Amino acid sequence: MSRIGVVVFPGSNCEYDAANAVADLGATPVFIWHSADDLGDVDGVILPGGFAHGDYLRPGALARFSPVMDAVQRFAADGGAVLGICNGFQVLTEAGLLPGALQKNRGLTFLCQPSTLVVASTRSVLTRNAEVGQHLSVPINHFSGSYTCDDATYNELVANDQIVLRYLDNPNGSRDNIAGVSNVAGNVVGLMPHPERAMSTLLGSADGRVLLSGFVGLSASVSA
């Protein structure tokens, strides 16, 4: 059974949602406090949503200096599966593990609503169980989720098939409707929407399962 680390920063608030989703898919979640300098024995690691270090300065700006991020960097460099959700995505961009940045939403409103995602690539650890063009209903819950990058970075994203998910109707003004990106290798992924909150039709949508099952499943095969 795969073990998935869930990093907890001071100010994280989606770590239990992430852990419950992981457990629901048959894997074992393991909380990792941000001051840890080692991830321990895990097959994948999730940086959950919230407001790490109060989002002071910029979302993710201080979290990237938490000791655990050195361990996450090493894990990612070794090919380990890393997933940043919402604030976790912001942390990964600030840490340089993913390209681009997340700025304030167009319209300056906090967005808390369902969003329809379109799968753009199945090459990443998050989308390997999905199909290109598939629509997924997954909620968003953020103020700084507008994906931005310069032209050179954007061209690289396209050339390397790093755009993982797009919004159908771009609620936050992201460049090219981008909702999630991966690194070149596809083992590090970040997205603003919350797949861990789309695990049950009773609660609105179970479309997050196709994403997180891929993440958990690939992690298991990596460890085998």
Partner 1 sequence: MGAGVASSLSGVNYSVLVDVTLRAGIADPEGATIERALPALGFSGVGNVRAGKSFRMNIEADSESEALAKAKSLAERLLSNPVMEDSVARLAQEN
Q: For binding to partner 1 (CB under 8 A), which residues are involved?
A: 57-58, 61, 65, 93-94, 99-101, 103-108, 146, 148-150, 153, 173
Using DSSP, state whether 179 is helix, strand or coil: strand
- Choosing from 14, 53, 149, 196, the catalytic residue is 196
| Coil/strand/helix, residue 182 | strand
Query: Judged by CB, which is closer to partner 1: 104, or 123?
Result: 104
Is the CB of 96 or the CB of 133 nearer to partner 1? 96
Q: Identify whether 194 is a catalytic site residue.
A: yes
Known active-site residue 86: yes
Catalytic residue among 34, 86, 94, 142: 86
Cα–Cα distance, 192 to 98 (Å, whole number):
13
Of 122 and 144, the one with the shorter C-beta distance to partner 1 is 144
Q: Which residues pair with 117 in a beta bridge?
A: 136, 167
Q: How far is the CB of 154 from partner 1 (least distance, A)?
A: 12
- Closest contact distance (angstroms) between CB of 146 and partner 1 is 8
Q: Return the bridge partners of 103, or none.
A: 146
CA distances from 212 to 23, 62, 190, 223 (A): 11, 27, 12, 17
Residue 88 CB, nearest distance to partner 1 (Å)? 16
H/E stretch holding 76 reads helix 68-77
Query: Hey, what amino acid is at 194?
Result: H
| Catalytic (active-site) positions | 86, 194, 196
